[in-house]
Amino acid sequence: MKKRIAFRKLGRTTSHKWAMLRNMVTSLIKHERIETTLPKAKELRHLADKVVGLGKNGSIHARQRANRIIREKPVLAKLFEILGPRYQDREGGYTRVMKLSHTRAGDNAPMTAIEYFDRPCEIRAARPPPKHLSEVGIEPVIVQQPATPSTTN
């Protein structure tokens, strides 16, 4: 029976799992959106929300605690200078996990995207309407079927 299981094992040893989660939360802060499998994203969500809470606090002790998780100095600076003030008025739930329509090619694992709320999105230009082939200068080629000989006995 399943009772009070606090964390997912993710098929790894404890040290490997925490190293992987530290790397993933560093990438999440750096890019503000990453794609991963569903169990990893659900486990990462807790750690990412805790780290943003440390960024909101902004004290020296919070910076030391965040430094244990995030090992890159520029990412740590981004946490305290950009993400902390961005979520100052929000009480919790800084991340969202969205299921993607595709699965991983090797083992068909369900893929998800985890991202921070209120992140600045990249604005893409609208695609131009498709041009007709003759406007582009491509003429359609008509291929004629070779005549098949009739078989009469």
pLDDT of residue 118: 82
Output the pTM of the full model: 0.73
pLDDT of residue 23: 96
Distance CA 87, CA 89 (A): 6
The ranges of the chain with pLDDT < 70 are 122-153
Structure tokens of 4?
């009070």
Q: Collect all residues with Cβ–Cβ distance below 8 Å to 84 and sequence separation of at least 6.
A: 52, 55, 56, 57, 58
Q: Collect all residues with Cβ–Cβ distance below 8 Å to 62 and sequence separation of at least 6.
A: 54, 55
pLDDT of residue 133: 57
CATH number, span 14-119: 3.90.1030.10
Maximum CA pair distance of the chain? Answer: 98
Distance CA 55, CA 85 (A): 8
Q: Where are the domains of the chain?
A: 14-119
